Amino acid sequence: MTDDINSTGYDIPPELQSQVAITTLDKIYNWGRRSSLWPMMFGLACCAIEMICTVASRFDFSRFGMEIMRPTPRQSDVMIVSGTVTKKMIPQIVRLYNQMPEPKYVVAMGACASGGGPFKEGYNVVSGVDKFVPVDVYIPGCPPTPQALLNGLISLQKKIDTQSIKSVRWYGKEPIEPIPVPILGPDIMDPREYAEIKKYTQEKLARQQAERIEDAEPVERKSAA
Ligand code: SF4
């Protein structure tokens, strides 16, 4: 353990090296978080089968500190989005993300979660979960193998190693606003884009009205003659 957190440049006597560590606050803080990442237990499609394999005995990601998959977002640190993100599902994903406490991380597992995958142009599919929640690590593949998921999770640990307690968002002065939950109607609507949608709809209606007046004018003139 001391090897993981020791800062270089200190001459610790060999007999004490397994008991004494000289380190920084950032290092020990990051080490604590990266060594106890608890993933949330949910899967969306075929990629989830590979995720289940990664948890099981052959690959066993508890070796990396991901000991328990939590069945509630309130006890989870990492959301593994494993599978196709449909428009029907994205409001639930955003709600679960909002319910996770900080610090929290998101892993997009596979082509579907990263960009829509083979269903990218589908009428019911969101082309990438990062359109709604911030993604920390993308794992390519359809589906990614358990080894690829492990590699993605190790990459996430490396990313955590570079964070500093001075700049992490959860200790910032500003409160962290939850992500507005998208609304599922005839299509999915992101509340953050309301102003843009309103402007587009108003312009479209004005265009249609102008076209209707243009079409109606010759008929009116004809009937007046
Ligand atoms: S990336 Fe491939 S394996 Fe994963 S959910 Fe999509 S279609 Fe299924």
How confident is residue 215, by pLDDT bands cut at 50, 70 and 90?
A: confident
pLDDT, tens digit, 9 for 90 and up, residues 132-189: 999 999 999 999 999 999 999 999 999 999 999 998 988 888 888 999 999 988 888 8
* Ligand 1 in reach of 144 Cβ (< 6 A): no
Is the model's pLDDT at 1 over the cut of 70? Answer: no
Is the model's pLDDT at 222 over the cut of 60? Answer: no
Predicted structure pTM score = 0.84
Q: Give residue 2's pLDDT.
A: 61
Does residue 30 come out as left (phi exceeding 0), alpha (psi in the -120 to 50 range) or beta? alpha
pLDDT, tens digit, 9 for 90 and up, residues 86-135: 999 999 999 999 999 999 999 999 999 999 989 988 899 999 999 999 99
| 3-state secondary structure (DSSP) of residue 135 | coil
pLDDT, tens digit, 9 for 90 and up, residues 48-77: 999 999 999 899 888 888 878 899 999 999
Q: What share of the chain is helix, strand, coil (3-state, %, to 5)?
A: 50, 10, 40
Q: Give residue 225's pLDDT.
A: 54
**For residue 37, which of 160, 217, 141 has the smallest C-alpha distance?**
160
Alpha helices in the chain (DSSP H): 2-5, 25-34, 47-55, 90-99, 110-115, 146-161, 194-224
Q: Given the DSSP bridges, would you call strands 137-139 and 183-184 parallel, antiparallel or unpaired? A: unpaired
Gap between the Cα atoms of 202 and 60, Å rounded: 55
Gap between the Cα atoms of 109 and 195, Å rounded: 32
Gap between the Cα atoms of 179 and 177, Å rounded: 6
Atom of ligand 1 nearest to the CA of 83: 5
Q: Give residue 213's pLDDT.
A: 86
**For residue 79, which of 35, 133, 32, 150 has the smallest C-alpha distance?**
133
Gap between the Cα atoms of 191 and 163, Å rounded: 31
* Ligand 1 in reach of 89 Cβ (< 6 A): no
Atom of ligand 1 nearest to the CA of 45: 5
Other C-beta atoms closer than 10 Å to the C-beta of 27 total 16
* Ligand 1 in reach of 140 Cβ (< 6 A): no
Answer for the pair 181, 98: CB distance below 8 angstroms, yes or no: yes
Nearest CA to ligand 1 atom 2: 142
